[in-house]
Amino acid sequence: MSEQALRGLAASPGVAVGRAHQLEALQADDLPHRGHETEANAALAALDAEADALLARAERLRDDGLEDESEILTAGRLMALDPLLRGELQRLTEHLTAAGALRAATDRHAALLAALPDPLLASRATDVRELGRRAARKLAPETALAPHAEPSVLIALDLGPADVAEVRESEQRIVAIALAAGAATSHAAIMARSLGVPMVVGAGGALLNAHGRIAVDGDTGVAYVDPSPDREAWAAAEMARLSSERRAFARVRTLPPVTRDGRWVTLLGNAATAVEIRAVAAAEVDGVGLLRTELAFLDARAWPGEDEHEQALAPLLSLLQEMVATVRVLDFGSDKTPPFLAGTEQRGLDLLLERPEHLAAQLRAILRTAGAADLRILLPLVESPQQVRTVRTLLRAAAADTGWQGKLPSIGAMIETPGAARRAHDIALEADFISIGTNDLVQYTLGLDRRHSIATARSAADPRVLGLVAATVRGATAAGVTVEVCGESASISEIAALYVGLGVAELSVAPARLDELRATVRALSAEQAAATAEQALAAPSEAAALALARELVSGELGDQQDEMLGGRDGVLA
């Protein structure tokens, strides 16, 4: 068969190839009804078995120090023991099979949760649906996840965290996950990132017809069904290379991120979950340069209140004590629009300032939960200095309301549009630091879709985008404030080198990219990077600018990285 490329969304980075392993239970209509009592007993037994399995996995995760993942599975076990759910199962089995009743009962409970105004409870709807699917699979054992003698790619319509946790027990034979539906912000995706399993979501229904070989590119969000020999060879080589590089880069993570000619570049991580924050801390960097807060509320039916913000933030900020914690206020809008904002055209800070009472509630929650973190507050999609002044007034009021002691947290302005980049100096005069969100800057400058920002991150090398980054750095430097880049493009070695050359002082990327970024910075000459960045600004195209950057990284940096990572003689720098 010919290769079929199914484009979805990147949920967990990495590349892998293996045999497709479908994980879908039989539908209720595929099995005959065996009578009310038989079906009820079977449904309850399957639910009990799933509760026992969740408890066992939760205990193993806790033993491995993965407390957050363990708590997720423990919550799933409590759902399985819910007497209301079990009572509904018994009623439904009067006319449905055990598998059908499990799916129907959990779907109903999930719908009720999704409709609740409490965003934290509403976010558990996916976990309840997963519980029903997993219990139903126990009635169709041939679909269960089991170890394989060869590397396999787990395929399903959707998954929950328990399914991904099970990958840990398959002796690494499950090398990647591809989902027809799903979301990059789901608990399953969080678990995949924490375990280092490449994952693509939203690849479409055609994925469920895959039964041969499949290659997963978790960096670009593409699943290749029946990959060509060349594609399969590439994926296998990438698996081996990435594994080797991860081990090598990790060996230098305790060394400072200083260029060969002595320039310090602050490294930070992007995060939204406790799993990611722990990965940031393990990477030996200064903290978090972008803590996304809206992802916890994407299923919310109303604006989250102060208590909901505190519940979401406290577990995260508790892990960042004595570390940089850059908390971005809610960045709703566009592809991150919860149900209660359906139809809105506003986004980011503009949306928040239309409803300042909700922004004030989040600011109070941030201050109450910060503890000893080196707190910075980040504002999305800033367009004017007046917006920053308004937020600073709200922050002062929040500090008074909460009894905040000492200096107010720094306020950072995200530059994400061409207009904001051109007004960077004026904005920087009001802000304490500037953060460039290159995902949106690329979109607004070049007209690309931010939902595929990982796949299009290299477009940040377009001279038009680089020119806006350079203008932002010039404006901020003249105002005496530092510049951070927190977009996906900063995790690409060639583009990171250009940012260093343009004078960017901080780079914040996904935790999995921090070790490689440190190695790139340490191998770099800031002076040479500046010269290359000037050439890239004058380049005729994105391809030409990337070629210049690639020559810098692969040429001058190649020998330095070989030496740093062991090279020919295996000696670390």
Residue 68 has pLDDT above 70, yes or no: no
Q: Is 521:494 a contact under the CB 8 Å cutoff?
A: no
Predicted pLDDT at 135: 83
Q: For the chain, where do the domains classified as CATH 3.20.20.60 start and end? A: 268-415, 457-573
Higher pLDDT, 267 or 172: 267
- pLDDT for the residue numbered 494: 95
CATH number of the 268-415 domain = 3.20.20.60
| β-strands 287-291, 266-271 pairing | parallel
Q: Which residue spans within 75-118 are E strands per DSSP?
A: none
d(CA 77, CA 58): 9
| pTM for this predicted structure | 0.74
Nearest residue to 359 via CA among 326, 410, 393, 321: 393
What's the chain's Rg over C-alpha atoms? 25
Average pLDDT of the residues in 538-555: 92
Domain 457-573, classified CATH 2.40.50.140, yes or no: no
Is residue 187 annotated as part of the catalytic site, yes or no? yes
Lowest mean pLDDT among 464-468, 481-485, 511-515: 511-515
Model confidence over 508-541: pLDDT tens digits? 998 888 998 999 999 999 999 999 999 999 999 9
CA 29 to CA 27: how far, in whole Å? Answer: 5
pLDDT at 551: 93
Which residue from 134, 133, 140, 43 is spatially nearest to 87, judged by alpha carbons? 43
Quickly state the pLDDT bin for 219 (edges 50, 70, 90): confident
Mean pLDDT for the stretch of residues 406-413: 95
Contacts of 189 by beta carbon, 8 Å cutoff, 6+ apart: 11, 12, 182, 183, 199, 201
| pLDDT score recorded for residue 562 | 55
What percent of the chain shows pLDDT beyond 90?
Answer: 50
pLDDT at res. 306: 95
Q: Name the segment(s) of the chain with CATH classification 3.50.30.10.
A: 1-23+145-229
With 0-12 / 13-18 / 19 or more C-beta atoms within 10 angstroms meaning exposed / middle / buried, residue 205 is exposed
Looking at residue 456, what is its pLDDT?
64
Q: Count the helix, strand and coil residues of the chain and give each as a percent rounded to the nearest 5.
A: 55, 15, 30
Of the ranges 67-76, 130-139, 304-313, the best mean pLDDT one: 304-313
Report the pLDDT value the prediction gives residue 118, as an integer from 0 to 100.
57
Report the candidate in 413, 328, 316 with the shortest Cα–Cα distance to residue 373: 316
| pLDDT, position 558 | 58
Residue 28 pLDDT grade (very low, low, confident, very high; cuts 50, 70, 90): very low
Q: Kindly report the CATH number that applies to the domain delimited by 1-23+145-229.
A: 3.50.30.10
Looking at residue 426, its amino acid is D
Pick from 166-180, 268-282, 467-481, 498-512: least confident: 166-180
- The number of angstroms, rounded, from the C-alpha of 213 to the middle of its chain's C-alpha atoms is 27
pLDDT digits (tens, 9 = 90+) for 130-158: 788 778 877 765 444 554 568 899 998 88
Q: Please check the confidence at residue 458 and state whether its pLDDT lies above 60.
A: yes
C-beta atoms surrounding 132 within 10 Å = 29
Question: Is a pLDDT exceeding 90 seen at residue 107?
Answer: no
User: Mean of the pLDDT values across residues 200-207?
Assistant: 91
pLDDT of 27 = 44
Q: Is the dihedral of CA 228, 229, 234, 238 positive or negative?
A: positive
* Alpha-carbon separation of residue 429 from 207, 361, 476 (angstroms): 51, 26, 8
Q: Which is catalytic among the residues 187, 309, 358, 425?
A: 187
Q: Residues, the chain, total?
A: 573
Cα–Cα distance for residue pair 64/443, rounded to 1 Å: 41
Does the annotation mark 36 as catalytic? no
Residues 79-88: contacts with CB under 8 Å, at least 24 apart: 79/109, 79/124, 79/127, 79/128, 79/131, 80/47, 80/48, 80/50, 80/51, 80/54, 80/131, 80/135, 81/51, 82/109, 84/109, 85/47, 85/109, 86/44, 86/47
Q: What is the pLDDT of residue 194?
A: 61
Q: Rounded distance, CA 518 to CA 286, Å?
A: 12
Residue pair 395/445 in contact by the 8 Å Cβ criterion = no
Mean confidence (pLDDT) of the chain: 85
* pLDDT interval class at 195 (50, 70, 90): low
Say if residue 465's pLDDT is above 70.
yes
Q: Is the pLDDT of residue 75 over 90?
A: no
> What's the pLDDT score for residue 26?
40
Pairing of strands 152-156, 222-225: unpaired
pLDDT at residue number 35: 85
Domain 27-138 sits in CATH at 1.10.274.10
Question: Between helices 274-282 and 306-317, what is the axis angle to 10°?
Answer: 30
Lowest mean pLDDT among 30-39, 377-386, 438-447: 30-39
Asked if 159 contacts 179 with a C-beta cutoff of 8 angstroms, the reply is yes
Among 432, 426, 455, 456, smallest CA distance to 444 is for: 456
The helix or strand, by DSSP H or E, that contains position 359, with its residue range, turns out to be helix 356-369
Give the full edge-to-edge strand order of the sheet including 222-225: 4-7, 222-225, 213-217, 15-22, 152-156, 174-179, 199-201, 9-12
Q: Pick the residue with more confidence: 343 or 309?
A: 309
- Token pair, residue 534, equals 């000037």
Q: Active site residue: 109, 309, 425, 486, which one?
A: 486
Higher pLDDT, 59 or 366: 366
Neighbouring residues of 250: CB distance < 8 A, sequence distance ≥ 6: 515
Residue 363 above 70 pLDDT?
yes
What local confidence, expressed as pLDDT, does residue 433 receive? 98
